[in-house]
Structure 1
């Protein structure tokens, strides 16, 4: 998984993506391996992982919920929706529910500005999400609906 990237310029990012795609996160034990392989310091590897918000240090829930907090979504109720999502799932930003069903991520644009507030569940984008609609979407995911 990592071998195809060795020797290519900027190999760290594709390696990190490959690790996360395979294992769901970047485990701490991967840092020294990456540093040694790419002749980087561990601090450099940690710096890249920390800089890019999509890299995770712990395994996420089965579903990733992203709630947009960009200005356009805030103007149409994203903050109250986000408060509802936190209460409903009983998690803070970046947290995973006790049953490992959901991980909540707060993002700053999903590119759905005209249809805010926007929420992405896994790879599916939803617009004009109200608290009631969020509850329906989350229930469908828990039940395994498409």
Structure 2
């Protein structure tokens, strides 16, 4: 995947300037960079570290600790499958395996063609209608393999 067309240095400095005055601003800066670029490019780590007087390891540690932060661009469609207990009780584990096979993408990865990123989440608050998932940011319940694949394809078109 290629680097974003937006100026990385400008984006990082803008996020830092907006939050430098806050106590412990690293996480919110990383979130803002991701919001603007879609992910936090590895090249942003030394810029942020230098400006906040942190080590690269400190920045990298926070970036890789939080599952919602990405160091690579997401797919054009993002699928987040719920794996919490209520969804597990109605077949979420089997659904995850079926969807991974149908889409050819493992949880936590992006398809080679950049079409879809498959994530896992642990509760979407849709427990009565499990198994549930977010497809392109929209919540869906009572899912099966065919419905998930259809939703992903519809989102991609």
TM-score greater than 0.5 by the shorter chain: yes
Partner of 1:57: 71
Query: In the aligned structure 2, how far is the partner of 1:22 from the partner of 1:125?
Result: 23
CA displacement 1:6-44 (0-9 Å, x = unmatched) = 222121112101111111111111111111111111111
Q: Which runs of 5+ in 2 are unaligned?
A: 1-13
Partner of 1:68: 82
Shift of residue 135, structure 1, vs aligned partner:
2.2
Partner of 1:97: 111
After the TM superposition, which segments of 4 or more aligned residues of structure 1 sit over 4 Å from their partners? none
Alignment of 1:15-34 (within 5 A): 15-34=29-48
TM-score by length of 1: 0.92
CA contact (8 A) 1:6 1:37 kept: no
CA contact (8 A) 2:45 2:56 kept: yes
Equivalences, count: 143
Partner of 1:116: 130
TM-score by length of 2: 0.86
Confirm whether residue 47 of structure 1 aligns to residue 56 of structure 2. no
